[in-house]
Amino acid sequence: MPIVDQQRRLHEAGRIRIGEQVSSSGRTGTRPTKLETFRFTSRNEEAINKLAALYGGKAKPWKSPAGAQFEVVTETDHIPVLVPPAEIGLSQWMELWSGGGCKHRCDGNATPDGEPCDISDHENPQWKPHTRVNLMLTDIPT
């Protein structure tokens, strides 16, 4: 990745989520479910405590697929955000997902590591475009 691209990226302090995993009835495992309010997750316990104080909810440890983190399911269904310019706040990839998560990510020609990829592979028609938008919470000081 070019240095200028690294300089333009925003630091991810946490994630805003609109759902969570719940136990499946009658089967082992979990399934996703929609929330009526926002859920925040982060490795930063202090940030989650601040969000709980600001938007309600109880901060607690969360066992994420990436390791130990913290979460709060808020009591609010709206949050003010700032949308940064697209060149620093937007990413778009073609991705191949399975039940275990994202298996492959490609810009159409190469992976983020520079390895070639072929999204026209007729054996893998599940490649789908995924867009991610970075947001900044206006109520949280930087």
Q: Quote the CA–CA distance of 37 and 77 in Å, as a whole number.
A: 4
d(CA 11, CA 84): 12
Q: Is the pLDDT assigned to residue 100 strictly greater than 90? A: no
Read off the pLDDT of residues 103-119 as tens digits, 9 standing for 90 and up: 888 887 777 777 777 76
Q: How high is the pLDDT of residue 23?
A: 84
For residue 78, the model assigns a pLDDT of 95
C-alpha 130/C-alpha 101 separation (Å) is 13
Give the chain's count of helices (H) and strands (E).
3, 9
Residues above pLDDT 70, as percent of the chain: 83
The per-residue pLDDT for 4 is 55
* pLDDT number for residue 25: 75
- Tell me how far apart the alpha carbons of residues 37 and 46 are, in angstroms, rounded to a whole number: 21
DSSP secondary structure of 88-141: HHEEEEEEEEETTEEEEEESSSB-TTS-B--TT-TT-TT-EEEEEE--EETTS-
Q: What is the largest CA-CA distance in the chain?
A: 51
**Residue range 17-56, pLDDT digits in tens:** 999 988 887 667 788 899 999 999 999 999 999 999 999 9
Domain ranges of the chain: 14-79, 82-137
Beta-bridge mates of residue 130: 93
Instruction: Write down the pLDDT at residue 141.
Output: 67
- Residue-averaged pLDDT of the chain: 84
Q: What is the pTM of this model?
A: 0.76
